[in-house]
A and B are shown apart, each in its own frame.
Chain A
Amino acid sequence: MKLPIYLDYQSTTPIDQKVIEVMTQSMTDDYGNPHSRTHSYGWIAEEKVEIARKQIADLINADAKEIFFTSGATESNNIAIKGVANFYKKTGKNHIITLTTEHKCVINSARELEQEGFEVTFLNVDHQGIIDLNQLENSITKNTCLISIMTLNNEIGAIQPIAEIGKICRKHNVFFHTDAAQAFGKIPLNVNSMNIDLMSISGHKIYGPKGVGAIYIRRKPRVRIKSIFSGGGQERGIRSGTVPTFLAVGLGKAAEIAKTEMDQDYKHVQKLGIKFYEAVCQEGHIYLNGPDIYDKNKRYPGNINISFAGIEGESMIMAIKDLAVSSGSACTSASLESSYVLHALGVDDELSHTSIRFGIGRFTTEEEIDYAITLVKSKINKLRELSPLWEMMQEGIDLKSINWQTH
């Protein structure tokens, strides 16, 4: 077993060997510019890119012509939000609806539009991180042009009711964009039955290469966008710039594998996720953040975000350094604030700083999970012995009754 054990699959995933093989071959053979029309090098590269486009489209029941390559989900989200807003503003539509728990690239794209004069509604979520559909519908105005709701949350594994949101959007003639970086290839998605108009896709979250992603943009009824880049008009003008053939081929292959292995991947991740959750949560005063792990419709079981009462996140991470995990808590991330997603769920301050995300994926083994369980459990008591908050909780002191001196 290789240490540290990689348990950070929401942050990125190791690339699948089968993906590396096709990419290596593509790098060697397909060096032509896929946009070159005058020779076979270009034609061959173009053919490979088109195969990849089809592989991606097939995973979400789209047409290949509706898939455009980008550098990743961040770029796709920017294109979707700014692109739609800026195209349709001439029609007088200037309102966007999104969630407070979206990825930063969605929130900040919306904030930028806000500064340019657009109106943005940031909807709150319930204590599990799920949208209130009535509130969504009531927030739609005659000026709403876009609703952007993430399919599967990266921090807490919450799955939004995408089909219901799609229905509401269609009913009110509002475009529906979903950031599916965490969901694409992990759970079934169908742009037609779910009425999705735009979808952001990432390569490196599905065992594909980093630096490549895609955006799905519906053709019927057609969604227009104002492109962000000026250039040679590649990707039908949606995203100028030479498509990197080997990255596109890698993303396509990763999508193809995800399609055939989705059921198996899901069952594997579910089994290990539940095993880990049940074993660790036996310890007491340990709380799962986000939806119920047994609720298949609301929670992706490969994301185990838990709060260890009384144990600050980074001190836990240092104690379990054989595990590569991530924390939304103050001291590990670049900023000193605790997770805005956990805040949106209403998680108490003293608990939001104790959260750790354990991410499980295709290549996680049962042996690794057993090791992780033993290691985490062995550190809980030691760290709580060190904690003044734990001591106060044991003495029955309400932490909220204390007049803390915040800085």
Chain B
Amino acid sequence: MAYSKKLLDHYENPKNVGSFSKDEENIGTGLVGAPACGDVMKLQIKVNDDGVIQDAKFKTFGCGSAIASSSLATEWIKGQKIEDAASITNKEIAEELSLPPVKIHCSLLAEEAIKSAIADYKSKKDNKNDQ
């Protein structure tokens, strides 16, 4: 399968690989996909008091497209307000990386990972405000 240069760049030199401690208040963690499907993405965001994503990290079990999609996602959301990050769509990711049709689900997973990390961050924050 022929992959685009951008995709290969992200696969060969993935950006923002790593983990934050899950338990910290300002960290949101999204874990999406399933081993049975051959794709698991963990995407984490570190959010400051202004609701801006200061930093993002990921780890992905999956094919080259899945790794590249999550690497790109972390690049895009860094510096964005969480509301803006939540509006990133899989279509934008797929277009940027020129994903082949059979790999579209990888971009969908990246979109879900962002949304899931934001939801986790928000629920942590709401819980704290409730206390």
Q: Interface residues, chain A, CB within 8 Å of chain B?
A: 310-315, 318, 329-332, 336, 338, 349-350, 353, 385-391, 399, 402, 404-407
Contact = CB atoms under 8 A, between A and B. Distances in A.
Contacts of A386: 14, 17, 59-61, 67
Contacts of A406: 34, 36-37
9 contacts: A310-B61, A330-B63, A331-B103, A338-B38, A387-B59, A388-B59, A389-B35, A404-B34, A407-B37
B32 A330 contact: no
- Max count, chain A CB within 10 A of own CB: residue among B19, B36, B65: B36
Interface of B: 1, 11, 14, 17, 19, 31-42, 59-67, 102-103, 105
B35 A387 contact: no
Contact of A404 (B11, B33, B67, B105): B33
The list of the 4 closest CB pairs from A to B, nearest first, reads A404-B34, A331-B63, A350-B35, A330-B38
A404 B116 CA distance: 13
Contacts of B19: 391
A387 B35 CA distance: 11
B75 to A, nearest CB: 15
B62 A312 contact: yes
A386 B12 CA distance: 11
Contacts of A318: 11, 63-64
A348 B1 CA distance: 27
A312 B106 CA distance: 13
A349 B17 contact: no
A329 B14 contact: no
A391 to B, nearest CB: 6
B59 A353 contact: no
A85 to B, nearest CB: 35
A386 B40 CA distance: 11
Nearest to B65: A331
Contacts of B42: 388, 391
A391 B31 CA distance: 13
Contacts of A353: 35-36, 38
A349 B36 contact: yes
A340 to B, nearest CB: 14
- Max count, chain B CB within 10 A of own CB: residue among A338, A399, A405: A405
